[in-house]
């Protein structure tokens, strides 16, 4: 029987922090790291070396990483995800009035233990949480008496590194800079800087509302798997693809299947089926939720209900990504992750579409086939996306109509080969579920040496 441990080294590189005893400061950092090791297979040891996995600095203003501090208040600290160079490092604003455990509480003081434990969560690969009261909640909440790590944070750390006793089940993502209080105009990360202002693309030319689209010569507005079948939307029409290919009689009017959509709609912007099998349509500034063919009471609702900005005129595409069962919404140059449990986009969003390498901006549609592979559509072509490498399989698009509808190729007029993906999930066997594969399956014992933190691109989502 093998026991898997993760021994991670850290080092405090700043020798003097005003008003803080160096020994007590180090003890506070040990305590903050213990929050995570107490509930996982992590073990931390302090060394005096620039080669440690987590380097800890107290800095002021511009300090060489492109993310300057702003003096007392606002941005307290930031940390970098596991990876090369600065990966795993944590930086704290030296101009804050830091308080240690046992100090007399001051209204203008900031508890170092809480902030450090939060930032070390990012150093280990955890994202912000949308659960109020969790340690990884994005906003400073102070230290409550008798602090214990909330369950939501246990889920995340145990998903990556395993549990000492019980494995909790939650998928995780990246870490972000932590504002002292809500900042509504700008969201800043350790990898990209984005604002909530988006530039929507100009509306593409749509067919006349009574014009039936050409199956073999058109772009698509939205695509989704609904009840195990592929539905492709264009204008007021929809195609339906089953296990044996395209159904006869399609394209057909979308309103024949969902007659509670607005009578004057000209196209569907995006659609996806939720995990509870409810179907969500996006049309302009509103979204509609259907149970089968019937509109749920209380809908439509404005996009702002989901926490999307009022400036957003539409959603370009939507999908549930099988890697983490999270809902993603795309528009223009940005994308959001939707927390279905609370019905709001998560606090660390929007983010730039450049994370999905090779796809570019202003996509038309996205969905995942039954084998779990992601397909992005733009114009009359599509890309097959490699979820592990977070990039398209090829730079050049494949023609959508020839692949999905068996249309003849333009050059030869020979029948195209319908290469619909198989339902056999071969690709899934290669996927990491967070960091679970490395935690559960690696038969080794790490003792007496530091290991570098692992970096996997998909955890940036």
> Can you give the residue ranges of every domain in the chain?
6-195, 222-430
144 catalytic per annotation: no
Find the Cα–Cα–Cα–Cα dihedral 104, 107, 109, 114, rounded to 10°.
90
DSSP 262-308: -TT-----EEEE-TTS-EEEEETTEEEEEETTEEPTT--EEGGGGT-
Selecting among 28, 59, 119, 346, the annotated active-site residue is 119
Tokens of 20: 């803080």
> Which element (helix H / strand E) includes 45?
strand 42-46
Please state the residue numbers annotated as binding site for Ca(2+). 53, 70-71, 87, 89, 93, 96, 221, 223, 269, 318, 364, 366
Report the C-alpha gap between 202 and 252 in whole angstroms: 27
303 CB neighbour count, 10 Å cutoff:
22
User: What's the topology of domain 222-430?
Assistant: Hemopexin (2.110.10)
What DSSP designation does 53 have? S
For position 194, what pLDDT does the model report?
29
pTM, two decimals, is: 0.49
For position 4, what pLDDT does the model report?
54
Report the C-alpha gap between 317 and 314 in whole angstroms: 9
Contact 29, 21 (CB under 8 A): no
Task: Please write the tens of the pLDDT for every residue from 358-416.
Answer: 888 889 999 888 777 899 999 999 999 888 888 888 888 888 888 888 887 655 433 33
Tokens of 420: 């619909």
Report the C-alpha gap between 209 and 415 in whole angstroms: 30
Contact 349, 187 (CB under 8 A): yes
Please state the residue numbers annotated as binding site for Zn(2+). 63, 65, 78, 91, 118, 122, 128, 136
For position 165, what pLDDT does the model report?
63
Contact 192, 352 (CB under 8 A): yes
**Range 6-195 has CATH code 3.20.20.70:** no
Rounded to 5 degrees, what angle do the CA atoms 312, 231, 418 make? Answer: 125
* Secondary structure of residue 113 in the 3-state scheme: helix
Report the C-alpha gap between 381 and 218 in whole angstroms: 9
What DSSP designation does 136 have? T
By DSSP bridging, strand 279-283 and strand 270-273 are: antiparallel
Contacts of 244 (CB under 8 A, 6+ apart): none
User: Residues of the chain whose pLDDT is less than 70?
Assistant: 1-5, 107, 165-210, 409-461
For position 121, what pLDDT does the model report?
93
Report the C-alpha gap between 375 and 82 in whole angstroms: 28
Which of 410, 386, 383, 411 shows the shortest CA–CA distance to 397? Answer: 383
Please state the residue numbers annotated as binding site. 53, 63, 65, 70-71, 78, 87, 89, 91, 93, 96, 118, 122, 128, 136, 221, 223, 269, 318, 364, 366
Q: Which residue reads 């979308």 in tokens? A: 254
Report the C-alpha gap between 432 and 430 in whole angstroms: 7
Tell me how long the chain is.
Answer: 461
CA 46 from chain center: how many Å? 32
Contact 352, 358 (CB under 8 A): no
Report the C-alpha gap between 175 and 79 in whole angstroms: 7
Is the bond leading into 350 cis (omega within 30 degrees of zero)? yes
Contact 59, 65 (CB under 8 A): no
What Rg value do the Cα atoms of the chain yield, rounded?
Answer: 25
Report the C-alpha gap between 75 and 59 in whole angstroms: 12
Is the bond leading into 300 cis (omega within 30 degrees of zero)? yes
């Amino acid at each position: 029987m093998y026991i898997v441990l993760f021994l991670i080294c850290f080092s405090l590189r700043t020798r003097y922090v005003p008003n803080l005893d160096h020994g007590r400061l180090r003890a506070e950092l040990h305590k903050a790291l213990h929050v995570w090791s107490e509930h996982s297979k992590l073990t931390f040891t302090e060394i005096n070396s620039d080669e440690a996995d987590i380097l800890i600095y107290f800095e002021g203003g511009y300090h060489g990483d492109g993310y300057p501090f702003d003096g007392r208040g606002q941005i307290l600290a930031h940390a970098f995800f596991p990876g090369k160079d600065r990966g795993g490092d944590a930086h704290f604003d030296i101009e804050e009035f830091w308080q240690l455990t046992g100090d007399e509480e001051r209204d203008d003081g900031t508890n170092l233990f809480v902030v450090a434990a939060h930032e070390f969560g990012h150093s280990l690969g955890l994202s912000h949480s949308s659960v109020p009261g969790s340690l990884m909640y994005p906003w400073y909440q102070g230290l409550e008496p008798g602090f214990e790590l909330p369950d939501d944070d246990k889920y995340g750390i145990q998903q990556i590194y395993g549990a000492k006793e019980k494995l909790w089940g939650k998928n995780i993502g990246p870490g972000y800079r932590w504002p002292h209080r809500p900042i509504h105009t700008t969201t800043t990360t350790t990898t990209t800087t984005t604002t909530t202002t988006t530039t929507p693309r100009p509306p593409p030319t749509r067919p006349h509302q009574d014009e039936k689209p050409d199956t073999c010569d058109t772009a698509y507005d939205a695509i989704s798997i609904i009840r195990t079948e592929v539905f492709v939307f264009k204008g007021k029409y929809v195609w339906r693809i089953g296990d044996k290919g395209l159904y006869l009689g399609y394209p057909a009017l979308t309103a024949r299947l969902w007659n509670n959509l607005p009578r004057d709609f000209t196209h569907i912007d995006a659609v996806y089926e939720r995990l509870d099998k409810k179907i969500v349509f996006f049309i302009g500034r509103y979204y509609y939720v259907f149970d089968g063919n019937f509109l749920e009471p209380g809908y439509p609702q404005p996009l702002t209900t989901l926490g999307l900005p009022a400036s957003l005129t539409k959603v370009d595409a939507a999908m549930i990504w099988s890697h983490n069962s999270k809902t993603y919404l795309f528009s223009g140059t940005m994308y959001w992750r939707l927390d279905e449990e609370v019905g709001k986009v998560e606090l660390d969003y929007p983010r730039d579409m450049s994370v999905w390498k090779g796809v570019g901006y202003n996509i038309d549609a996205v969905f995942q086939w039954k084998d779990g592979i992601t397909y992005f559509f733009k114009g009359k072509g599509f890309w097959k996306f490699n979820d592990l490498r977070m990039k398209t399989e090829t730079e050049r698009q494949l023609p959508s109509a020839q692949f999905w509808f068996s249309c003849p190729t333009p050059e030869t007029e020979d029948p195209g080969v319908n290469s619909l993906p198989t339902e056999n999930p071969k690709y899934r066997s290669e996927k990491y579920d967070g960091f679970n594969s490395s935690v559960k399956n690696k038969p080794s014992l790490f003792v007496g040496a530091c290991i570098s933190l692992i970096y996997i691109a998909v955890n940036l989502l």
